[in-house]
Amino acid sequence: MGGEEKITGKYKQEIFISNFNPWFVLSVAVTFILIVVLLWQLQRSSRMIKEFEEIEMSLERASSDLRYHSRNLELTANLAAVTGDLTWQERYEEHREPLTDALTDIVELAEIEGVAQEVENMQEHLQTLGEIEREVFELISHGRRAEAEERLKGWIYTNHQHILSQTIENLTAIVERHIQDRITAEKRLTSYLQVTALGFLMLLMISWYITFQNWRASVKERRRKEEQITYLSFHDPLTDIYNRRYFMEVGEEEIERARRYDEELSLLMLDIDRFKQVNDRYGHPAGDAVLEDLAGLLRENFREVDIPARLGGEEFGILMPSTDKVQALKAAERIREKVAENSTQYEDKEISITVSVGVADFKEEFAGMEEFLQLADKALYRAKQSGRNCTVDCDKL
């Protein structure tokens, strides 16, 4: 019983020890990383869209506005010079303020490489053009329309207009190139992130698959150990037949069934004669071999419904349901003779033994299995006193 408890305790400890599963840890880590990458990409994409709206698109709109209003300034100045109508000056002033706002927007967004230089050039040309156009309106107000028209056709005004147009085109090209570079960079980064996410996803699938397989194997192993623990808790580890605990529990059930259905129930108690001499002469390993052989004979010579068990040491019990005492006595004699006829071969030694058997049948007045077992034990004790290697009926006490 002590050996059984040690083995059972060992397996119980193994069941409750948490096995470290690196694939599960990897699965959790990869899942976390994948979520972080996806969330980061979503946040970054949202931020980039906002930046395009607030910077690139604003800069592009400012450039378009600058081109539009600068052309309208030139046009209204020319119309005023050609017609001599100063009402065009009002239209001119309407475009001057938006042009200034557009230029201010560009200056604020001039952190893009190359924009600052173009804005500086643009400011110089706009200042020169503004001075000429104000002179033109002054000349028109004094009725000197021809001079005003000539001033607008002059090389200085025309050259600055041309350079201004070219500067605006350069600025627009810089903005478009910058936007395209940002889009290309974003596409490249998105591709890298997609490949990375795909790699992590594949790794996640593999790790979760392996984790699942490990869990299945763990469940199977746990079930196997639980079955083994259950088996060991009801079996003697040396002889591999039932132990005293199981014998007593099933005995109580069989007693209850015998009472309920008024059935016969018999019990045999069997003890090896002079077993201490076997151990002293041949050694304990030889004694264990004798016990194992005796258990084998019990399994071979009793029915499947019978319940043989090692009760402790060299003492065995056989519970025989639906068996009256006459049949039980015959079975006891049969097993006693079988034991005497057979011997145990251990190394180069042949060990012969005999057994004494006590037989008891169930009585209605029994309180339970303990009383039933005590009666069979008394019969066994009488068999020992009667010279051993014999069978004693409990009613002959």
Residue numbers annotated as active site: 314
* 323 phi, psi to nearest 5 deg: -130, 125
Tell me the C-alpha distance between 316 and 391, whole Å: 14
H or E stretch covering 215: helix 155-234
Tell me the residue type at 36: V
Contact of 361 with 265, CB cutoff 8 Å? yes
Determine contact, residues 214/206, Cβ cutoff 8 Å: no
- For tokens 């419904």, the residue is 305
| Cβ–Cβ under 8 Å, residues 265 and 255 | yes
The answer to whether the beta carbons of residues 258 and 265 sit under 8 Å apart is: yes
Count of CB atoms situated within 10 Å of the CB of 159:
12
Instruction: 336-345: list long-range contacts, CB under 8 Å, 24+ apart.
Output: 336/270, 336/389, 336/390, 336/391, 338/297, 338/301, 339/294, 339/297, 340/389, 342/293, 342/297, 344/286, 344/289, 344/290, 344/293
Alpha-carbon distances, residue 280 vs 37, 40, 350 (angstroms): 75, 79, 15
Q: Which of 39, 8, 45 is nearest to 230 (CA)?
A: 8
Tokens at residue 60, please?
């592009």
How far apart (Å, rounded) are the C-alpha atoms in residues 146 and 127?
Answer: 23
**Cα dist from 396 to 72, 267, 359, 384, whole Å:** 136, 15, 10, 14
Structure tokens belonging to residue 68: 């539009």
Q: How far is CA 122 from CA 73, 96, 178, in A?
A: 15, 14, 19
Task: Measure the CA–CA gap between 397 and 393, rounded to whole angstroms.
Answer: 7
Task: Say which residues have a Cβ less than 8 Å from residue 269's Cβ, sequence separation at least 6.
Answer: 311, 315, 316, 317, 357, 358, 360, 373, 376, 377, 379, 380
